[in-house]
Amino acid sequence: MLLRAYHLGLLLAFASAAAACAPSSESDEAPGPGALPDGPVTAELDSGTVEGWRGGGVQEFLGIPYAAAPVGALRWRAPEPPAGWTGVRNATVKGSACPQTVPLLGDVGDEDCLYLNVHTPEPRPATPAPVMVWIHGGGFTLGEGVQTDGGTKGERLALASGHVVVSFNYRLGALGFLAERHLSAEDATLPGSGNYGLEDQVAALDWVQRNIAAFGGDPTAVTIFGQSAGSMSVCTLLTMPSAQGLFARAILESGSCTTPASSLAAAEAQGDVFAQALGCDTAADVPACLRSASVDAVRTTLPPDPAFISADTGTHGSWMPIVDGRVVPAQAAAALAAGDFATVPTIVGWTRDEGTLFVALAYDMQGAPLTAAEYPQVLDALAGDAALAQAIAVAYPLADYATPGAALAAVLGDAYFACPSRTLRAALAAHAPLFAYEFDYPHPKFQLESPVDLGAFHAAEVQFVFGHPAALFVKDFEGAELELSRDLEGYWGRFAATADPNGAGAASWPAYDTAGDAHLSIDVASVASSGASAEACAFWASVDYLRPPLPEPP
């Protein structure tokens, strides 16, 4: 198989965590008309009263529990409602990230992690405002709703759009995606196991339905949006029965669910290995044994591969959504083809240089750029099939690229982002309005210094959507980058309000249809275009490269 899908999207979360020393960007905007002086502000929820903070034209509420702590007997179970409280609960500090191992920083997070954050205009909208719910990326093994460096903090987007912005944590890694046959059988009313992280996402969206009016939000006008694994999540939520009716629009940034997911049987086979490694395979009560294991033991058993571009060594786990027959009833591609999904207006897009970041961190930032001699070896290792590797080498010859790393970046970007996204948008557009984009700005900053030009790298657009520069110690965008950020805030915000990103004098964004293949090329001077990655994707459509991460058991 060309590349284990769970490797993808990890780098954004890694970079934001590595930037923990960066200052959190706060808005310097003046308060809006009618706003009160900076100070505490409360909201009444179905579980109790929370006290946040107002300032800079927004109200901020952090660390609100949307589900009970998934600890003890609730580990590897569907999320339960949070316990209510009396008095006023502090909501000025974000909740802990879910347990994860971050490169350079090591083990971080706490199992009590199911918290969300709300940013709403100050004063709160008098008329219910659209709601934008962010789902973070990180390969389903890293990340949090508000990144460590504040890069996905929602106050600037809320201020620019006038909308209510929500972000949240969900269970990651084995804690979020372990399927195991004893867990699958312990509750006949909830058969199967392995999609707890997705169930957390549904619980967060259900919380929004019940409580967002307290912040001035309209529960009938919810847009879910996410990047990388977050975009894969949005895509999967479109097809999940339990998520239907919880959102009205969707934005998918650099991630699709058209790649086949592993079956329950394949994931349970991995679960057998996991239970054996923890010494629980022979226990009289396997689920109880698993739940008694320490968080550290769970985190270090079949961990995700830290080498983002590598062949699987058999010592790492695949932790991501599976087809369990209940939470995810069928392969998403089949549901999309049959029209069996939430047919809501969508935006689907990707960045022009999706693969550069992965190659840079795996090779160039390690001081060992990929060589011409290594290129075919890497293709062999990633493809797992000599004929496929040779076909890729012919389609992406080294002579066509400045460096071997650039060739590999093109392979990864096309195979796992651009082309699945093209497939996805065609399926979605057959049933509902869709707008497509390619993010083409060539000079976005990354948190870490790179010895090679990353171009419009994976996740480059996120900083402009949220208005928080990715570059360390840079508080505000300036000049053309400030205008680009305002453009993206405007496009995303107008779509969330009206299902059409156009307006306010911005460059015209044509609606997508398969015949015209139109998209918006997003840059400092955005223009309508067509046919992004069409030629490369014709090659990928002709070869068998999309396979589930886990092999079927014999």
The answer to whether the CB of 40 falls within 8 A of the CB of 51 is: yes
- Beta-bridge mates of residue 50: 43, 89
Say which residue the tokens 């589930």 belong to.
548
Give 414's Cβ-side CA count (13 Å radius): 20
* Residues contacting 281, CB < 8 A, separation 6+: 272, 275
Exactly one of 16, 96, 228, 521 is catalytic; name it: 228
Which is nearest to 280 in space by CA: 497, 531, 76? 76
Rg (CA), the chain: 22
C-alpha–C-alpha distance, residues 488 and 161, integer Å: 10
Q: How far is CA 447 from the centre of its chain?
A: 18
Give 258's Cβ-side CA count (13 Å radius): 23
The answer to whether the CB of 47 falls within 8 A of the CB of 172 is: no
State the maximum Cα–Cα separation within the chain, in Å, rounded to a whole number.
Answer: 68
Exactly one of 253, 354, 438, 461 is catalytic; name it: 354
Question: Cβ–Cβ contacts within 10 Å for residue 400, how many?
Answer: 10
Which is nearest to 31 in space by CA: 1, 58, 68, 64? 58
The answer to whether the CB of 227 falls within 8 A of the CB of 255 is: yes
Let me know if 354 is a catalytic residue.
yes
In eight-state DSSP terms, residue 423 is H
Give 35's Cβ-side CA count (13 Å radius): 20
Exactly one of 7, 119, 136, 458 is catalytic; name it: 458
Total count of residues recorded for the chain: 554
C-alpha–C-alpha distance, residues 493 and 499, integer Å: 9
Pure H helices in 332-431: 332-337, 356-362, 374-383, 386-395, 404-413, 419-429
Q: What tokens appear for 546 in the block? A: 């999309």
In eight-state DSSP terms, residue 319 is -
C-alpha–C-alpha distance, residues 44 and 50, integer Å: 7
Written in H, E and C, the secondary structure of 100-128 is EEECCCEEECCCCCCEEEEEEECCCCCCC
Helix, strand, coil in percent for the chain, rounding step 5? 35, 15, 50
Residue type, 513: D
Say which residue the tokens 């949005």 belong to.
234
DSSP sequence for 222-291: EEEEEETHHHHHHHHHHH-GGGTTS-SEEEEES--S-SPPEEHHHHHHHHHHHHHHTT-TT-SSHHHHHH
For 151-169, letters b (16+ CB in 10 Å) and e give bbbbbbbbbbbebbbbbbb
Active site residues: 228, 354, 458
